Amino acid sequence: MNYQSLVFVRLDVPTGTPIENCGLPPLPTGMKELDARIDGGLRLGEVYRLSGRPAAGKTTCALTIARCVALGEDLDGHPLKNGHNRPHPVLFFSLELSKKHLVQQLLYCPGDATDNGGVQGETDVRVLAEPIAHDVAKLSHAPIFVDETAPLDVCDIRSRTSSMKERHGIELVIVDYLQLCSCRESAHLGRHAEESALLLQLAQMAQELHLPVIVVEQTGRSSIRRQSG
């Protein structure tokens, strides 16, 4: 899938003293194109914004990053660079899609049929069965933890992330997506101020827990209903 239409940038949110990475190399996303936009990968204590219009592939992109990081390999199945060729536990807050939908997206990568000898638009069970079975086997051991609670306040995100890091050693948090989060403390100030407070709280969490955070953001649409299933 082409992610050219998506914006992927590091947020400059003033939270105090920046984290010293002690020479630790950044964590690759598994996609060279995205890593090039953020100086080589994800860094401890930083927040990254992944934004785009509806149906631009934001969630698919976020899930691809989660998959690569959790498996410790890039899109081509090669070990992640910078000494990160190992599984990294990922916490994925899915405020729009249910866990069932996320699993379906994780197992289906656009272009699989053509990459394995099929014809585009053709559904050939014989062509797809082997790669899907291989993916199921790999993903069954991938440390991806999904929280599908919605709606969710940013204070809940912070407390749940802290608990999950203590229990499972979480190394990356993905929030999908910003417009479905709330911040009770700032809600009375209007949505713009509330979203600024949300980003500040997530930036503080990233620094306190020493991990990178990716925030998926919708542009061009004010609201969307949560899918279930």
The answer to whether residue 42 scores a pLDDT higher than 90 is yes
pLDDT category at 109 given cuts 50, 70, 90 is low
Alpha-carbon gap, residue 106 to 125, rounded angstroms = 18
Strand pairing report for 172-176 and 213-218: parallel
Fold (topology level) of 7-218: Rossmann fold (3.40.50)
Amino acid in the structure at residue 220: G
Alpha-carbon gap, residue 28 to 42, rounded angstroms = 6
List, for residues 157-199, the tens digit of each pLDDT value: 999 999 999 999 999 999 998 988 988 888 787 778 888 899 9
CA geometry: angle 214, 110, 65, nearest 5 deg: 20
> 97 near 149, Cβ under 8 Å?
no
Alpha-carbon gap, residue 2 to 13, rounded angstroms = 28
Q: Flag the least confident range among 55-69, 146-160, 184-198, 206-220.
A: 184-198
> 181 near 216, Cβ under 8 Å?
no
Average pLDDT of the chain?
Answer: 83
Helix %, strand %, coil % for the chain, to 5? Answer: 40, 15, 45
Beta bridge partners of 90: 144, 172
Alpha-carbon gap, residue 86 to 107, rounded angstroms = 20
> 70 near 170, Cβ under 8 Å?
no
For the sheet with 7-10, list strands across it: 7-10, 47-52, 213-218, 172-176, 90-94, 144-147
Mean pLDDT is highest, among 97-101, 183-187, 213-217, for: 213-217
Please state, for a pLDDT cut of 90, what percent of the chain lies above it.
Answer: 53
Of 43, 32, 38, 42, nearest to 9 (Cα)? 38
pLDDT given at position 11: 92
Neighbours of 182 (CB within 10 A): 20
Boundaries of every domain in the chain: 7-218
pLDDT given at position 155: 94
pLDDT given at position 16: 61
Amino acid in the structure at residue 107: L
pLDDT given at position 36: 95
Of 39, 33, 140, 116, nearest to 82 (Cα)? 39
The answer to whether residue 213 scores a pLDDT higher than 70 is yes
pLDDT given at position 23: 67
Neighbours of 7 (CB within 10 A): 14
